[in-house]
Amino acid sequence: MSPQQSIKSFKIRLILSFCTIIFMVSGLFIGFIYLDKMGDATYLSSAYINVSLFFLILIALFILINFLANRLVKDLRALNLKIKNEVKELEISLEKSNEDAENKTVYLANMSHEIRTPLTAVIGMINMLKESELDVDQRVQLEIAEYSSEHLMQLVNLIIENAKVNDGRVALNLAAMDLASDLTKLFKVFEYQAWDKRLEFEYKFIPNEDYKYLLLGDITRIQQVLINLINNAIKFTNNGKISVIVDQTVAHDEDQIVTFYVKDTGVGMRNNEVNKIFDAFNFGKSFTTQDYRGAGIGLGIANQLVKMMGGELKIESKENEGSIFYFSLQLKKTLNLKLEQPEPKHLSLNKYDKTFDVLVAEDNQMNQKVIKYLLEQQGADCTFAKNGLEAVRLFDVLDFDMVFMDIYMPEMTGYEAAKLIKQSKKYAEKNVPIIAVSASAFEEDIANAKQVGIDDFLAKPIEVEKLKALLLKYASKESLD
Cα-based distances in Å from 426 to 399, 403, 453: 9, 13, 16
Position 213 scores a pLDDT of 77
At 269 the three-state DSSP class reads coil
Alpha-carbon distance 231 to 463, whole Å? 24
**What would the mean pLDDT of 157-183 be, rounded to a whole number?**
76
254 Cβ contact list (under 8 Å, min separation 6): 332, 333
258 DSSP β-pair partners? 329
Q: Let me know if 77 is exposed, middle or buried by CB neighbors in 10 A (0-12, 13-18, 19+).
A: exposed
| DSSP line for 421-469 | HHHSHHHHHH---EEEEES---HHHHHHHHHTT--EEEESSPPHHHHHH
Interior CA angle at 117 toward 404 and 223, to 5°?
95
* 209 contacts 165 by C-beta, under 8 angstroms: no
Which has the higher per-residue pLDDT, 285 or 118?
Answer: 118
* φ and ψ at residue 172, rounded to 5 degrees: -75, 145
* 455 contacts 433 by C-beta, under 8 angstroms: yes
Mean pLDDT of the chain: 75
158 Cβ contact list (under 8 Å, min separation 6): 224, 227, 228, 231, 298
Which has the higher per-residue pLDDT, 387 or 31?
Answer: 387
Q: Place 480 in a pLDDT band, splitting at 50, 70 and 90.
A: very low
Q: Place 338 in a pLDDT band, splitting at 50, 70 and 90.
A: low
At 179 the three-state DSSP class reads helix
Position 391 scores a pLDDT of 92
Position 199 scores a pLDDT of 92
Alpha-carbon distance 119 to 301, whole Å? 26
List % helix, strand, coil for the chain (3-state, nearest 5).
60, 15, 25
436 DSSP β-pair partners? 405, 457
Position 444 scores a pLDDT of 75
Cα-based distances in Å from 155 to 92, 369, 453: 34, 25, 32
**Options 3.40.50.1950, 3.60.15.10, 3.30.1490.20, 3.40.50.2300; which CATH number does 356-480 get?**
3.40.50.2300
Instruction: Give the Cβ contact number of residue 478 at 10 Å.
Output: 6
Q: Which amino acid is at 219?
A: I
Cα-based distances in Å from 12 to 72, 77, 79: 12, 18, 16
DSSP-derived letter for residue 342 is: P
Side-chain-side CA neighbours of 230 within 13 Å: the count stands at: 31
User: Is pLDDT above 60 for 93?
Assistant: yes
Is the entire prediction scored with pTM above 0.85?
no
Side-chain-side CA neighbours of 116 within 13 Å: the count stands at: 24
Q: Place 31 in a pLDDT band, splitting at 50, 70 and 90.
A: low
177-187+194-337: what fold? Heat Shock Protein 90 (3.30.565)
Domains 177-187+194-337 and 356-480 share a fold: no
User: Is pLDDT above 50 for 293?
Assistant: no
Closest CA to 330 of 258, 232, 387: 258
Position 396 scores a pLDDT of 92
Residue ranges per domain, the chain? 3-95, 177-187+194-337, 356-480
Q: Place 319 in a pLDDT band, splitting at 50, 70 and 90.
A: confident
> pLDDT digits over 386-408, tens only?
899 999 999 999 999 999 999 88
**What would the mean pLDDT of 327-348 be, rounded to a whole number?**
65
Closest CA to 333 of 223, 225, 212, 222: 212
* 326 contacts 314 by C-beta, under 8 angstroms: yes
Position 481 scores a pLDDT of 45
